[in-house]
Amino acid sequence: MKYVDEFRDPEKAKSLIREITRISDELSEDLKRPVYIMEVCGGHTHSIFRYGIENMLPASLELIHGPGCPVCVLPMGRVDDCVAIAEQKDTIMTTFGDAMRVPGSKRSLLQAKALGADVRMVYSPLDALSIAKKHPDKEVVFFGLGFETTMPSTALTVLKAEAEGIRNFSLFCNHITIIPTIKAVLDSPDLQLDGFLGPGHVSMVIGNQPYGFIAEHYQRPVVVSGFEPLDILQSLWMVLKQLHVGEARIENQYNRVVPEHGNRMALEAISKVFELRPFFEWRGLGSIDNSGVQLNQQYAAFDAEKKFSLPSVTIADPKSCQCGEVLKGAIKPWQCKVYGKACTPETPLGALMVSSEGACAAYYQYGGAPKDSIKIHQLEETSL
């Protein structure tokens, strides 16, 4: 396939949906419940709603929207630490656009900017490093976050800062790892899952082998998926085919992008700069062992957590916000008490309403109601 239109072919989509319906109906009849498949990645969640995929699927198949949006799982305490750095004198805080709107217990970075803090949106950590070069009299901090997808660029920026002797640059590191996250989801007692759509962008870096434990120890199939409509539909079909014959394997639907063993240079940069944290706090999921990374001792000079004094306080989400239950797939976004009322993309109460990859924001933008009554509003060019 060379052109994006080929990934959105209506006839191929209809054919896949027919097969998905046939297999999931048979499985559901045996299970006496729907088949539950989780898409781990927030990018998949966004695509599923953007193209109306969930509304095309049979009632015998239910998608669970997982914790794969790094902005969405950022706890309030870490946002408060970031705001505390931004509000210090002679400091420039830099980060991606979505991260600026994540609510802390008092304010977001965007609100701190409105109150006078120097907070700037950048498109890469290298942009932050360029700002540090232009302002040698300021401390420039990059608020780094994301799964293994964005870790290499951050690691390479730290290496470049060291090589060029730029000492007024530091990293407030909130990078997280995908494997412990999936394990925590699988170990959750209140969640039933039959299979996974594996994250395409993360797998581009780490490869397919790290998911082996899911098939071996948990007996759940995983299909690493691309992000176009036919990618997702084909990946669902591949998961269902495995379930239908009683198999649990790791398959790579996204092999045009994802190498079996990952990206060697990216993995080398990550391992050179970062080390695992003993534990890391996730919004809605609590503390997960070895699920976050920090700068190792060799690069401690670029660690904002060592340069600045931080509150480092764990803060619970508002009681009315049910982001945790949505992240674990226990409830759908529209079942949250504040969804679409106190919590909207314009006035987000929970982190899932901030990022376009958050399940709540996706529901709000493209639907907003249970499957049988969703009205998908789509532009003609994005429809199947």
Kindly report the CATH number assigned to the domain that includes residue 109.
3.40.50.11740
Interval 317-328: pLDDT, tens: 677 888 777 876
Q: Stretch 108-117: mean pLDDT, rounded?
A: 95
Give the chain's domain count.
2
Angle at the Cα of 40 from the Cα atoms of 16 and 221, rounded to 5 degrees: 60
Range with lowest mean pLDDT among 205-209, 245-249, 260-264, 310-314: 310-314
Written as six digits, the tokens of 297 are: 């001792």
Judgement on whether residues 111 and 170 belong to the same structural domain of the protein: yes
CA distances from 356 to 175, 237, 292 (A): 19, 26, 23
Q: Which residue(s) pair with 297 in the sheet? A: none
pLDDT, residue 67, reads 78
Judgement on whether residues 83 and 122 belong to the same structural domain of the protein: yes
pLDDT higher for 167 or 313?
A: 167
pLDDT, residue 381, reads 39
Q: Stretch 46-75: mean pLDDT, rounded?
A: 88
For residue 24, give the 3-state DSSP assignment.
helix
Instruction: Report how far residue 33's alpha carbon sits from residue 40's, in angstroms, rounded to the nearest whole number.
Output: 21
Written as six digits, the tokens of 295 are: 């700068």
Judgement on whether residues 339 and 301 belong to the same structural domain of the protein: no
* Domain extent at residue 113: 76-176+292-307
- The model's pTM: 0.87
Judgement on whether residues 296 and 353 belong to the same structural domain of the protein: no
Judgement on whether residues 158 and 95 belong to the same structural domain of the protein: yes
Instruction: Report how far residue 158's alpha carbon sits from residue 325's, in angstroms, rounded to the nearest whole number.
Output: 36
Interval 190-207: pLDDT, tens: 778 999 999 999 999 999
Residue 128: inside a domain, yes or no?
A: yes
User: Which residues are CB-contacts of 74 (< 8 A; sequence separation ≥ 6)?
Assistant: 99, 102, 145, 174, 283, 351
Instruction: Report how far residue 120's alpha carbon sits from residue 129's, in angstroms, rounded to the nearest whole number.
Output: 12
**Cα 161 to the center of its chain, rounded Å:** 27
Q: Are 306 and 330 in contact (CB under 8 A)?
A: no
Judgement on whether residues 302 and 346 belong to the same structural domain of the protein: no
| Run of H or E including 251 | strand 250-252
**Do strands 286-289 and 279-282 pair parallel, antiparallel, or not at all (unpaired)?**
antiparallel
